[in-house]
Structures are given as C-alpha cells and as structure tokens.
Amino acid sequence: MKSGRQSLFRIFRYPALIFAVSVAGLVAALLVAGVADLAACAAVAAPLIATFACRLRRRRPD
C-alpha cells in the first residue's frame, strides 16, 4: 500500500504491459503454428498469470 499518490505511469505500467502481451499473444496464435503456438498461449495467459501472481504475493508473509 502506498503512502502517497501514484503517477498514471505507475498505475498503468503493469496493466499496459499485460494488455500488450495478451493482445500480441491473441494475434500471434493466429499467425503461427506448432511450438510457437505455446508461446502465444503463454502470452494470452498473461491476465491469469498476473492475477495469480498478485494473489501469491499478497499471501506471502512479510
């Protein structure tokens, strides 16, 4: 939790990254086949990975 206010860059840096990665994955999965498809799927999974990462981070004892 932050004591002060955050800039828009700080607020949106992770969401923007996840947006770019997941959309790139969606398009890449349409363009590639075979093993590259797995990489594309991993990119599509970015929102789910980020959600679970956030949950795990919060559960970790300080």
Partner 1 sequence: MKIETIRGWSFVHKWTSLVCTLFLLMLCVTGLPLIFHDEIDRALTREIWTPANPGGPHLTLDEILAVALERRPGEVPIFMSFDIDRPVVNVTTGPRANAPGAEMRFMPIDRTSGEPAPPVGGEGAVMEFILQLHTDMFLGLPGMLFLGFMGLLFAAAIVSGVVLYAPFMKRLDFGEVRREKSARVKWLDYHNLLGVVATGWLLVVGLTGVINTLEQPILDAWRYTELADLVAEHDGPPLTKAPASLDAAVARAVEAAPGMELQFVSFPGSAFSTDGHYAVFLHGKTPLTEHIITPALIDAADGSFEGLREMPWYVKALSLSRPLHFGDYGGLILKILWALLDIATIVILASGVYLWLAKKRIGEKRFIEEARAR
- At its nearest, how many Å lie between partner 1 and the CB of residue 61? 15
- At its nearest, how many Å lie between partner 1 and the CB of residue 15? 4
Q: Using CA atoms, how far apart are residues 48 and 12, in angstroms rounded to an integer?
A: 17
- At its nearest, how many Å lie between partner 1 and the CB of residue 56? 10
Tokens for 59?
Answer: 């559960």
Q: Using CA atoms, how far apart are residues 47 and 53, in angstroms rounded to an integer?
A: 10
Contact criterion met (CB below 8 Å) for 44 and 30:
no
Chain positions contacting partner 1, by CB under 8 A: 1-6, 8, 11-15, 18-20, 22-23, 26, 29-33, 37-38, 40-41, 44-48, 50-51, 53-55, 57-58
